[in-house]
Amino acid sequence: MGIPHVIPSIIPPYTHDVFGEFANVIVTSIFDTSNALFDAARNLFQSTAQNDASAPHALLLPGGNTPRPLFQNIREYPFPVDANFRIGYTDERYVPEKNPLNNFTVSKDMIHALGISDSQIMRVNTDMSLDAAAEDYNSTLREFFEDGGIIPLAFLGLGVDGHTCSLFTKEDIRACSEDRFAVPVRREEKPDRISVTPALLQRIRHIVILTTGPEKAAIVDAMTHEPDHVVAGKVLAECARVSLWYAPQD
């Protein structure tokens, strides 16, 4: 695996949170190939999943097309995971589980290959109404924290429009109250979504944005140099540690 080029990016100051004071930077790493990026992501996934922790510890997965090669790699070459390991999701499309756009469905074969049981999965129930699904996921996440759970790692996506999770606009961000971990997101361009909130993201120890392809070059440049002008930069402005991994070539 080639060594990525690393570019620090200043973002607006963080507030003090449960993990203390952290440097206010996004660290952008440029990988020579997408294979190198996903190899690094797999290693980070595995080290998180195999952490022998006494408390529940979760990794949040993104939706979209970008993480599919990672899921496929882990499905084909699985590894043991700790009994206290949990899987969660940064967001979900409001579509039935059988729909191929459902984020849980996209990751399900990987989860089965890892031997992860249903009780270790925190996911959105799209059989409910949109509001009820968001409230149910919010309660699931809250109970996880009340039981002493931590989230050491989350993989996020980054859209060409600058969105992350399913927060697309400044209005979406403003609709996220500080006491909620998941909210419904109504979209003119369907499907609607359920998304985690900035309050949830601020509890994650390390967020890694996975980005590939030449079409993402402009938004990666904006996140690196002017993140406060990008929706994703605003969403992540008070998070503890944020890395942006980019492979210009798919």
CATH number of domain containing 18: 3.40.50.1360
Contact 70, 45 (CB under 8 A): yes
Strands 57-61 and 182-185: unpaired
Mean pLDDT, rounded, for 17-31: 63
β-sheet with 204-212: strand ranges across = 5-10, 25-30, 242-247, 204-212, 150-156, 57-61, 85-89
The pLDDT value recorded for residue 20 is 35
137 neighbors 194 (Cβ within 8 angstroms): yes
Residue 170 in contact with residue 77, Cβ under 8 Å? no
Mean pLDDT of 39-48: 98
2 vs 201, higher pLDDT: 201
Mean pLDDT of 209-221: 97
Indicate whether 19 pLDDT > 50: no
pLDDT at 11 over 50: no
Which residues face 183 on adjacent strands?
Answer: 195
Q: What pLDDT, on the 0 to 100 scale, is given for residue 130?
A: 98
**Residue bearing the bigger pLDDT, 246 or 26:** 246
Residues across the chain: 250
Give the bridge partners for 91, in sequence order. Answer: 195
Where on the phi/psi map is residue 57: left (φ > 0), alpha (ψ -120 to 50), or beta? beta
Domains identified in the chain, total number: 1
Q: In which band, very low, low, confident or very high, does the pLDDT at 116 lie, cut at 50, 70 and 90? A: very high
In this prediction, residue 22 carries a pLDDT of 39
Residue range 163-179: mean pLDDT, rounded: 96
Give Cα 76 distance to the centre of its chain: 22
Please tell me the predicted confidence (pLDDT) of residue 17. 32
Q: What residue numbers bound the domain in which 152 lies? A: 5-247
Largest CA distance in the chain: 46
Q: Residue 110's pLDDT is what? A: 98
In sequence order, what are the residues at sequence separation of 6 or more whose Cβ sits closer than 8 angstroms to the Cβ of residue 54? 84
16 falls in which pLDDT band (50, 70, 90)?
A: very low
Asked which of 21-25, 119-123, 166-170 is least confident by mean pLDDT, the reply is 21-25
pTM of the predicted structure, to 2 decimals: 0.90
pLDDT given at position 18? 31
